[in-house]
Amino acid sequence: MMKSCAGLGSVWLASCLPEIIAAQEHAHRTAQSGAPSGFEFFAPGDAAEVEAMAAQIIPTDDTPGAREARVIYFIDRALATFAAQERAAFVEGLKQLQKKTRKLFGKAKRFSDLSAEQQITVLKMIETSQFFELVRTMTILGMFSNPEYGGNYNKIGWKLIGFEDQFFFQAPFGSYDRDYKG
Amino acid sequence: MTNERPHFAANAEIDFVIVGAGAAGGVIAKELSSAGFRVVVLEQGPYMKEPDFEHDELKYMRQQAITNDYKRQPNTFRKTEKEKAKEQPAIIYGRMVGGSTVHFTGNYWRFHEIDFVERTRLGAIAGTGFADWPITYSELEPYYTKAEWELGVSGLAGASPFDPPRSKPYPVPPLPIKSSGVLAERGASKLGWHAFPAPMAIISQPYRGRNGCLHCGFCEYFGCEVAAKSSTLATVIREAEKTGLCEIRPNSYVQKIEVNKAGLVTGVTYFDGNRQVHFQSAKAVVICANGAETPRLLLLSKTSLFPHGLANSSGKVGKYLMFNGHAQASAVFEHTLNEFKSVAVSRVIHDFYDSDPKRGFYGGGGMDLRFVSYPMGFALRGLPPDAPKWGREYKAMLREHYTRTVHANGHTTSLPVETNNISLDPDVKDAWGLPAVRVTYKDHDEDMKTMQFFQERCKELLQAAGARKQWFRPLRGQSFGFHLLGTCRMGEEANKSVVDKYHRAHDVPNLFICDGSSFVTSGRGQPTLTIQALAYRASDHIIRMAKSGEIKSAV
């Protein structure tokens, strides 16, 4: 059986390590070439569907979300490289998503065309599926991994949670040690 | 750089082969080569250095970038010997020059006096191999001191009322307190407990030519880019190479310890990085491959003379595996802690270190507050179990919790149980065609009770520290170990243990074994300093025996 990102953990990532390294090198090259240069795996329509899902998983509100963090480019590159084994799951999952969308909201609709409320309704119906967990995992990786992998644009993910990647910090580190008297 | 490292010709006469360049192997390599012996260290993993390390969670997530690789080195696991083991990750260790000291957190408590004599003090415990050590704390004390000074340990002598006697203070002062440390102190003092500065194998200021910690926060699971973490890679291995008498040979995967008809070790057979098989002869062999790989290698080395595995006339090779117990409760606080900065732990609590018969069960441990959580891992599974998994509220919680969360941890005893062990899997093979590590493990009832006891203390501590909201996950029996202890235990009696008090195999006079496998009991959850104190002590005795001609050699 193909290992799936859905149960993603250390082991799955470990098994992907050589591919992750390749993806990193690939990402470096892409990063040097400036703005995202289109998709390597997704057809543009499919990218819009996945991006719409990601944007409900980590939505845009008073702060930027998965969309602004360019998570979709991370996912695309992941599927083009170290997560290539998940391509079939994406293709199948998107079919199911579109089926649910049409059933609920009419034949002409695509998931990404729906209102936010409608999208949430659809996602609530599939939130326990493997596909949803896969997209959730990939969204999180894209939001919070090093920007060189294509997502976490402008460190949007890290800024959201208050994480800083620095080689040097000085005490005090937090609020409780600020006035420490010993 | 590479060319400057010592390299012996294929036909050179070698005194010692050491298997494994980790916590113990690094120390012994330095000691033996400094005493004038020619040493080859065979390490299965690569030789990485500071420039190779980086802040990259995706790559290093859960440390697998520099640890055993389940794809090539599968494990199998079962709870009891009646079951058929299933393939799943069951152990983890650093697979590189420096071993687990490269990616560890660096908690460096000494064992206390009681750890060595618990059987005498507390009596037998049914269904276990609970025993005293063949050495006492006072015999090991000079070697604890030596380890702290040779390797570089930060701490404050006398700060804990429970600390065992020491002959010298720490070589460098403690690292700065973090918010988690302040909260540990706050909670502890309300409860009448004592929080003291954590002894850490991370230097707080320059020491012996290395830089002090820059508090980047990438300790656990990562290699230190500035060599402030006192790994054997950053310390003794470098010094061993400087003697010109120690060759570190990375990417060398040992498959068998070879013996002659007289039952003496002649050397080891290993695969190089291209899977070519080599034989390295030596006058004596020291195995420091960790509590899983050491017994596995002995079991793989069976011959007609040693039908149950090398050095295994007692049948104890691989037995009495101990993981240490772990208990945890979590909390979110009103203000930011920013635990992603600096080292993991700045205060430790030892009020429940000793076993207390009044509790009704054996066991004890230490406690700390920490939150080692990198952004991806946090977003995947760092929120409370009842938190939403996606959407607006999920995002709001990520934002609120990351800088405000902390875990209280209990690090506890594991009893030595013979049916908890490392053996060779009969079916599953590694990528080199050798039988995989099979782990059989079920926490003893008293260990579960100890973990439960500590989880309650963790909750109390967080409450007393002023937690805004608390949560915990129900305790479950462990099926995964990173402290790999007890599987070639030390002892006076050759039918009950694998090595003697000098780490010499009872059955093979020129074979030594020193790592976590030597432990008789588990201690309280931070084994590495004790592994290294044992390694310094073993080195002294190996040198003594080698110089006096007491080590018979086949070469």
**Can you give the pLDDT at residue B555?**
72
Taking CB atoms and an 8 Å cutoff, what residues of chain A touch B403? Answer: 161-162, 174
Give the C-alpha separation, B408 to B410, whole Å: 7
For residue B348, list its beta bridge partners.
B196, B368
CB pairs A-B closer than 8 Å? 158
Is the Cβ pair A160, B217 closer than 8 Å? no
SS3 B349: strand
For residue B369, list its beta bridge partners.
B408
How distant, in Å, are the alpha carbons of B178, B189, B191, B208, B470 from that of B465?
A: 14, 9, 10, 38, 11
Taking CB atoms and an 8 Å cutoff, what residues of chain B touch A166? Answer: 216
Contacts of B427 (CB under 8 A, 6+ apart): none
> What DSSP assignment string belongs to B194-209?
-EEEPPBSB-SS-BTT
Q: How many CA atoms lie within 13 A of B509 on its CB side?
A: 12
Q: In terms of CA atoms, which chain B residue is nearest residue A159?
A: B399
Closest CA to B231 of B18, B530, B19, B532: B532
pLDDT level of residue A100 (50, 70, 90 thresholds): very high
- Terminal-residue alpha carbon distance, chain A: 56
Q: Among partner residues B58, B177, B216, which is closest to A169 by beta-carbon distance? A: B216
Closest CA to B267 of B511, B491, B84, B531: B511
Interface test mutation site (partner B, options A152, A160, A173, max chain B beta carbons within 10 A) = A173
Q: What is the dihedral of CA B441, B446, B448, B454, to 10 degrees?
A: -140
Contacts of A10 (CB under 8 A, 6+ apart): B61, B62, B63, B64, B89
Is the Cβ pair A58, B389 closer than 8 Å? no
**Can you give the pLDDT at residue B394?**
98
Give A113→chain B minimum CA distance, Å: 18
Which run of H or of E encompasses A37? Answer: none
Is the Cβ pair B379, A144 closer than 8 Å? yes
SS3 A142: helix
Beta strands in B272-404 (DSSP E): 277-281, 284-287, 325-332, 347-349, 365-370
Each residue's pLDDT tens digit, A58-72: 999 999 999 999 999
Q: How many CA atoms lie within 13 A of B168 on its CB side?
A: 15
Structure-block tokens of residue B528 = 């590495």
Is the Cβ pair B398, A160 closer than 8 Å? yes
How distant, in Å, are the alpha carbons of B159, B251, B279, B512 from that of B269?
A: 48, 13, 4, 17
Q: Is residue A9's pLDDT more than 90?
A: no
Which run of H or of E encompasses B40? Answer: strand B39-42
Q: How many CA atoms lie within 13 A of B428 on its CB side?
A: 21
pLDDT level of residue A23 (50, 70, 90 thresholds): low
Is the Cβ pair B339, A123 closer than 8 Å? no
Stated pTM of the model: 0.94
Which run of H or of E encompasses B469? Answer: strand B469-471
Note the residue count of chain B. Answer: 555
Beta strands in B253-383 (DSSP E): 253-259, 265-271, 277-281, 284-287, 325-332, 347-349, 365-370
Q: Among partner residues A13, A162, A169, which is closest to B62 by beta-carbon distance? A: A13
Give B307→chain A minimum CA distance, Å: 35
* B322: DSSP letter: B
Under 8 Å between Cβ of B287 and B512: yes
Taking CB atoms and an 8 Å cutoff, what residues of chain A touch B337? Answer: 173-176
Task: Give the ipTM.
Answer: 0.93
Q: How far does CA B186 lie from the centroid of its chain?
A: 30
* B37: DSSP letter: -
**Can you give the pLDDT at residue A25?**
57
Give A173→chain B minimum CA distance, Å: 6
Give A62→chain B minimum CA distance, Å: 10
Which one-letter amino acid corresponds to residue B296? R
Q: What is the dihedral of CA B413, B414, B416, B418, to 10 degrees?
A: 180
Per residue, the 3-state secondary structure of B391-425, as one string, reads CHHHHHHHHHHCCCEEEEEEEECCCCCCCCEEEEE
The neighbour count for residue B10, using CB atoms within 10 Å, is 7
**Can you give the pLDDT at residue B63?**
43
- Tell me whether strands B469-471 and B325-332 are parallel, antiparallel or unpaired: antiparallel
B277-281: strand order across its sheet: B253-259, B265-271, B277-281
Q: Among partner residues B61, B342, B375, which is closest to A161 by beta-carbon distance? A: B375
- Over its length of 555 residues, how does chain B's per-residue pLDDT go in tens digits? 445 789 999 889 999 999 999 999 999 999 999 999 999 999 999 999 999 999 999 988 744 678 999 999 999 999 999 999 999 999 999 999 999 999 999 999 999 999 999 999 999 999 999 999 999 999 999 999 999 999 999 999 999 999 999 999 999 999 999 999 999 999 999 999 999 999 999 999 999 999 999 999 999 999 999 999 999 999 999 999 999 999 999 999 999 999 999 999 999 999 999 999 999 999 999 999 999 999 999 999 999 999 999 999 999 999 999 999 999 999 999 999 999 999 999 999 999 999 999 999 999 999 999 999 999 999 999 999 999 999 999 999 999 999 999 999 999 999 999 999 999 999 999 999 999 999 999 999 999 999 999 999 999 999 999 999 999 999 999 999 999 999 999 999 999 999 999 999 999 999 999 999 999 999 999 999 999 999 999 999 999 999 999 888 887
The neighbour count for residue A9, using CB atoms within 10 Å, is 16
Residue whose tokens read 């033996």: B32
Give the C-alpha separation, A35 to B192, whole Å: 58
> What DSSP assignment string belongs to B153-190?
-B--TT-STTPPP-SS--SBPPPPP-HHHHHHHHHHHH
SS3 B281: strand
Structure-block tokens of residue B9 = 């010709």
Q: Among partner residues A17, A63, A163, which is closest to B64 by beta-carbon distance? A: A17
Is the Cβ pair B402, A161 closer than 8 Å? yes
Interface test mutation site (partner B, options A26, A85, A156, A177, max chain B beta carbons within 10 A) = A177
Q: How far does CA B199 lie from the centroid of its chain?
A: 16
Q: In terms of CA atoms, which chain B residue is nearest residue A13?
A: B61
Q: Among partner residues B70, B214, B402, which is closest to A163 by beta-carbon distance? A: B402
Taking CB atoms and an 8 Å cutoff, what residues of chain A touch B86? Answer: none
Is the Cβ pair A174, B225 closer than 8 Å? no
Q: Is residue A13's pLDDT more than 70?
A: no
The neighbour count for residue B75, using CB atoms within 10 Å, is 25
Q: Is residue A18's pLDDT more than 80?
A: no
Each residue's pLDDT tens digit, A139-157: 999 999 999 999 999 999 9
Beta strands in B75-146 (DSSP E): 75-78, 86-87
SS3 B94: strand
Closest CA to B285 of B503, B519, B433, B98: B503
pLDDT level of residue A19 (50, 70, 90 thresholds): low
**Can you give the pLDDT at residue A5?**
36
Which run of H or of E encompasses B273? Answer: none
Helix A116-126 to helix A44-57 angle, to the nearest 10 degrees? 80
Closest CA to B18 of B44, B39, B46: B39
> What DSSP assignment string belongs to A113-134?
GS-HHHHHHHHHHHTTSHHHHH
Give the C-alpha separation, B38 to B48, whole Å: 23
Q: What is the dihedral of CA B128, B134, B136, B139, to 10 degrees?
A: -150
